[in-house]
Amino acid sequence: MRYADGKVSEIQIAYIGGGSMYWAKNLIADLALEEQLSGTIRLYDLDHGKAKNNEKLGNSVSSYEDAKSKWEYKAYETLSEALTGVDFVFISILPGTFAEMAVDVHEPEKYGIYQPVGDTTGPGGLMRALRTIPMYVTFAEAIERYAPDAWVFNYTNPMTLCTRTLYEIFPKIKALGCCHEIFGTQGLLIRMLKEMEGIEGVQRDDIQVNVLGINHFTWIDQATYRNKDLFPMYSEFVDKYYQEGFETSKNGWRTNTYTAANRVKFDLFIRYGLIAAAGDRHLVEFMPPWYVKDKETIASWMFGLTTVPSRVEKNAAAAEYYARLISGEEKLPLKASGEEEIRQLKGLIGLQSFVTNVNLPNAGQMKGIPLGAVVETNAAFSGNSLKPIHAGELPVEVNSLVLRHVMNQETILKAALERDENLAFHAFVNDPLVTIGINEAEELFETMLMKTKSYLPGWDL
């Protein structure tokens, strides 16, 4: 990297999963809008053709008149070429195909187990983890060999176990897991301020929160706006909207299964006195099947099930749009994605210091959780430094819910690394959503395992 006049050029970033049709275009736009940074994005993907597409798209965007910086995009055929000597690594992949995802999400439904997302916990999330961990072993080994000093940003789910695997294989890695779920809750608090007190123009950074938990099962025990405690107002807000929910668009959850009316979040606040900081669709998968007992129960809590066929349909539409971008028929709109990767880059480069939530191994920032397990708390970014901030401890009744998943994640990691089917089943059957009989659980586990076995090298199946 080269520093001059408050700008940093010649930044080298490797992007594993660089053939993406989703996150890649957001990254391309965000980088083009940032005038203090420039450099090269090295795109690597198992589908080299898709990486070449993003090479073409990225370079075309750099030539836009309204682009504030110029980046060179280059697709590489090997992981070693993409990684050698880079300053940063972004990892955003789909571990498997929609066929495996369909098994993750819909096979458990045959046993009455419903998962709105199915990528983090529950039977689907645990099975996804089993096939993702070997991929991350490969990434960690390659990073250790070719880019040991690089900062590594992980965006893939299951976020916790992907990040945990990187550290397990390469303990000195400088990796962080990045997720925007907390941003959504800060956005809800901003809308609350407008609704309850008519306060407008509040920015996300104006909402200060203390974050504790694990990815997609995060909690806030302190929230302030200009030093004003927001918990009393949130309590009134919950009471007011508990029954009808609170959405940006009334009944939006009925037509958009990626949204919810926040009723689960409100219910968890009433039960535990903390603000559940992830989206309802993720939160329900960490709890016993209180909210997902059946489709009628799900509807009563005002969120939907994101089916894999709907994802396939969405992907087809995205592919058509992407084709128009690649051909030049349409231009990529240059608007900020709302992600934090640019600010995080600038923080680690040394252009600014700030605090935000990230996923890191527990070095004592969160009490009540084993050291080394990956937790999500606030951390301070500054020049080549990322330091977790002491977050305290969850109340015992909430910590027990979180800890169960932490130990399950540690168990599934060990099972994946040791290729131990029996150990994997122990984690599977201990998941709170798996309330079926032991024989049915074994049957479901075996079915799901066999349908993902092609991603489990070395397993005796």
In this predicted structure, what is the pLDDT of residue 294?
A: 97
User: In whole angstroms, what is the distance from residue 29 CA to residue 378 CA?
Assistant: 26
How many distinct structural domains can be found in the chain? 2
255 plus 373 within the same structural domain: yes
- Domain annotation covers residue 325: no
CA 362, CA 106: separation in Å to the nearest integer?
A: 33
| Local confidence band at 5 (pLDDT 50, 70, 90 cut-offs) | confident
Distance CA 324, CA 146 (A): 36
DSSP line for 76-89: ESSHHHHHTT-SEE
Q: Which tokens sit at 152?
A: 């590594």
- Domain termination residue (choose one: 180, 205, 235): 180
pLDDT band at 379 (very low <50, low <70, confident <90, very high): very high
Q: Which of 145, 187, 120, 445 is nearest to 338 (CA)?
A: 187
Residues 165 and 208 in one domain: no
In a domain, 329, yes or no: no
DSSP alpha helix (H) spans, 250-307: 252-255, 263-272, 280-286, 295-300
Rounded Cα distance between 42 and 10, Å, is: 12
**CA count, 13 A, side-chain hemisphere, 360:** 27
Question: Is residue 316 included in any domain, yes or no?
Answer: no
Task: Examine residue 321 and state whether it is found in any structural domain, yes or no.
Answer: no
Do 290 and 302 reside in the same domain of the chain? yes
One-letter amino acid of 323: A
Domain boundary among 135, 163, 180: 180
CA count, 13 A, side-chain hemisphere, 341 = 28
* Residue 14, domain CATH: 3.90.1820.10
pLDDT tens-digit map of 237-276: 999 999 999 998 888 999 999 999 999 999 999 999 999 9
Does 166 share its domain with 277? no
Residues 126, 227, single domain; the answer is no
- Whether residue 71 has pLDDT greater than 90: yes
Does one domain contain both 45 and 127? yes
Q: What is the 3-state secondary structure (H, E, C) of 183-229?
A: HHHHHHHHHHHHHHHCCCCCCHHHEEEEEEEECCEEEEEEEEECCEE
122-146 vs 396-418: helix axis angle to the nearest 10?
60
pLDDT tens per residue, range 82-97 = 999 999 999 999 999 9
Mean pLDDT of the chain: 97
SS3 assignment, position 129: helix
Whether residue 174 is found in the same domain as residue 227: no
For residue 450, pLDDT over 90 is answered with: yes
* pTM passes above 0.85: yes
Cα 145 to chain center, whole Å?
26
- Per the structure, the complete domain to which residue 83 belongs is given by 2-98+115-180
Q: In terms of domains, do 168 and 265 share one?
A: no
Determine phi and psi for 253, rounding to 5 degrees.
-65, -25
Q: How far apart are CA 273 and CA 145, in angstroms?
A: 47
Q: Mean pLDDT across the stretch 148-166?
A: 98
Q: What is the DSSP letter of 250?
A: T
Name the percent of the chain lying above pLDDT 90: 97
Degrees, nearest 5: CA angle 427-391-367: 50
Do 147 and 261 share a domain, yes or no?
no
The reply to whether 185 and 158 lie within a common domain is no
Q: Are residues 346 and 436 in the same domain?
A: yes
pLDDT at 117 over 90: yes
- The helix/strand/coil state of 197 is helix
Q: Note whether 56 and 152 are same-domain residues.
A: yes
Main-chain dihedrals φ then ψ at residue 366, nearest 5 degrees: -130, 115
Closest by CA to 111, choosing from 391, 460, 445, 449, is: 445
List the structure tokens of 93.
């992949």
| Residue labelled with tokens 């090295």 | 42
Residues known to be catalytic: 180
Read off the pLDDT of residues 283-341 as tens digits, 9 standing for 90 and up.
999 999 999 999 999 999 999 999 999 999 999 999 999 999 999 999 999 999 988 99
Q: Which of residues 137, 163, 180 is at a domain's end? A: 180
